[in-house]
Amino acid sequence: MKRILVAYATREGHTEAIADHIAERLLLQGHRVTTMNVADADPFEDGPNRFDCAIFAASIHMGKHEPEMVTFVQAHLRELGETPAAFLSVSLSETTAEDPSAPDDKRQKAKRDVAHAIEHFIEETGWVPSRTKPIAGALAYTRYGFIVRFMMKQIARAAGASTDTSCDHVYTNWRVLDAFVDELVATAALSRDTLGSPLPDESPRRRFVKTAGVD
């Protein structure tokens, strides 16, 4: 059993769905998992060794990762330096990058766009995650207002994604994501906390935090 943090930042909710998917899988494997939105809670209030490893996920809007994740990381550089952690970058560009039917020049450009956004995130925060992984996101047409829906339809057309605005479209490759997470967790060493004392009681401060699994 390992203690794992799954923390995310989202605009339209798909990165939260990714975090929940990861958490459910890790729970089934017998780990103790804490899931939280970094806009709502501080996972490091009890210190860095509370977790054996951490997974951070944030979506991209207008070429940049969620500002809540940037702020969170900037405020926790010390703790992050002491916790093996991966960063998942969720975007529509990655959908194009992974699309085998997309023309090669479009796929290469999409790949570069994602790499550039991740580089910018690292430069802006000063945090170099143990691993980074681009993840294809979703088109949440039913959640957009009129103007954003119209704009995203044009972007989707150019990206080769669906222009059917009557429903949402998920492009995340769950199998690839699962394999990445499984490998990350398998190679994470147990921290002093897991080998030693049990977790402290949940405080009222953690009302936004979901912790579940074996103690």
The distance of closest approach from Cβ of residue 210 to ligand FMN in the complex, given in angstroms and rounded to an integer, is: 17
Q: Which is nearer to ligand FMN, 76 or 153 (CB)?
A: 153
Q: Which is nearer to ligand FMN, 46 or 168 (CB)?
A: 168
- The neighbour count for residue 147, using CB atoms within 10 Å, is 8
- The neighbour count for residue 10, using CB atoms within 10 Å, is 22
The distance of closest approach from Cβ of residue 53 to ligand FMN in the complex, given in angstroms and rounded to an integer, is: 22
Counting contacts by CB under 6 A, is residue 25 touching ligand FMN?
no
The distance of closest approach from Cβ of residue 62 to ligand FMN in the complex, given in angstroms and rounded to an integer, is: 5
Q: Which of 33, 102, 152, 181 binds ligand FMN (CB under 6 A)?
A: 152
The distance of closest approach from Cβ of residue 110 to ligand FMN in the complex, given in angstroms and rounded to an integer, is: 7
Residues 6+ apart with CB under 8 A from 150: none
Q: Which of 30, 47, 63, 81 binds ligand FMN (CB under 6 A)?
A: 63
**Cβ atoms of residues 109 and 78 within 8 Å:** no
CA atoms within 13 A on the CB side of 42: 13
* CA–CA separation, 188 and 210 (whole Å): 21
Q: Which is nearer to ligand FMN, 13 or 103 (CB)?
A: 13
**Cβ atoms of residues 152 and 127 within 8 Å:** no
Counting contacts by CB under 6 A, is residue 147 touching ligand FMN?
no
- Among the listed ranges 91-99, 125-133, 160-168, 175-183, the one in contact with ligand FMN (CB under 6 A) is 91-99
Q: Estimate the crossing angle of helix 67-75 against helix 104-125, to 10 degrees.
A: 40
Q: Is 30 left (phi over 0), alpha (psi -120 to 50) or beta?
A: left
* Binding footprint of ligand FMN on the chain (CB under 6 A): 10-15, 59-63, 90-93, 137-140, 148, 152
